[in-house]
Amino acid sequence: MPGILAHSHAFGGFSSPDVARTIAFYRDVLELDAAEENGIGQIRLPGGSSVICYPKADHVPATFTLLNFAVPDVDVAVDALVKKGVVFEHYDQPEIRTDAKGISRDNGGPVIAWFKDPAGNILSVLQAD
């Protein structure tokens, strides 16, 4: 028998010191269905899930990847996002290295590139198989 939460509607959430600015980024730059109402942002993700963005004055950005966007071609996605002003992270560490575009290609995982939203939370585009 399924548990009590098996049929609930689940969604994620994260904080931002400036919800309006963060929601504008998700809507205008990432071109997602995102809106703010009564100070809370709602972002509808591809595939039907959603996350909320709530205000927090003492916000601390996530130190892990908050959202991953699977795309057919990471190079195409990175190029398109760079044209919209997105800056990709660059890593040169033993466990993770990125190329000049900010793409990690040969680290034993997927082809992936990381960037931050205006609240400093880490997001990624990764190669879909």
pLDDT along the chain (129 residues), means of 10: 82 95 97 96 93 96 94 97 97 91 89 97 92
Q: What is the pLDDT of residue 129?
A: 72
Classify domain 61-128 at the CATH superfamily level. 2,3-Dihydroxybiphenyl 1,2-Dioxygenase, domain 1 (3.10.180.10)
Q: What is the pLDDT of residue 6?
A: 87
Q: What is the pLDDT of residue 1?
A: 64
Q: Which residue has the tokens 């033993």?
A: 94
CATH 3.40.50.300 fits domain 11-58: no
Residue type at position 119: A
Q: What is the pLDDT of residue 10?
A: 85
Measured distance CA(64)–CA(125) in Å, rounded: 14
